Structure 1
Amino acid sequence: MEVNITEASMTHSKEDGYLGRVVFGVTGQQSAYELTLQSKNARDWSYSLSFTASSGKEEDIYVVESRLEEDDELFDALVDAAMQNLQS
């Protein structure tokens, strides 16, 4: 699965911890995705995956969600992209 990141951002505050957002596309799929990230310590991440501007196929988002859960390198690459844009 080839991922193309188009936007990435991260903020940090004492109250909320780390809050990030990554917008990306997947080769062979028409819809773009938004990954919202949250962590108190920048190690244990909670996330939410959704379509960006328009909804895509339900099967496609399940494939991407499954891949994020199984592929630590992919998930870490998305987190790293957001962390590179960290703003306090």
Structure 2
Amino acid sequence: MEAAGPALSAETLRGRLLRGLEAEHVEVEDTTPSHCSSSFRSLVVSSRFRGKPLLHRHRLVNELLAEELKHIHAFEQRTLTPEQWEKERGGLQ
């Protein structure tokens, strides 16, 4: 019988994304109604996304979190370059 899986939390996922994608900004929110760590929403800002289409960006995230995603019911992600993040925040016109 398989163990319950890796210890999942928004903070654990955030740390993996920060390190694995050399991200400059990561937000992860547990969106499970009971906060039982089975549904998450994320925002990842990384220069590694430059020049990559959305599908490739999502694949990078999915590959990095492959083990964790086996135990997650839903995972929503936004992947931005630093330039896109800055523009979205109103810093660049």
Question: For the superposition of Structure 1 and Structure 2, which TM-score range results when normalised by the shorter chain?
Answer: 0.3 to 0.5
Please identify which structure carries the higher helix content. Answer: 2
Could you tell me the TM-score, scaled by structure 1's length?
Answer: 0.36
Q: Structure 2 length as normaliser, TM-score?
A: 0.35
Q: Which has the larger radius of gyration?
A: 2
Greater strand content: 1
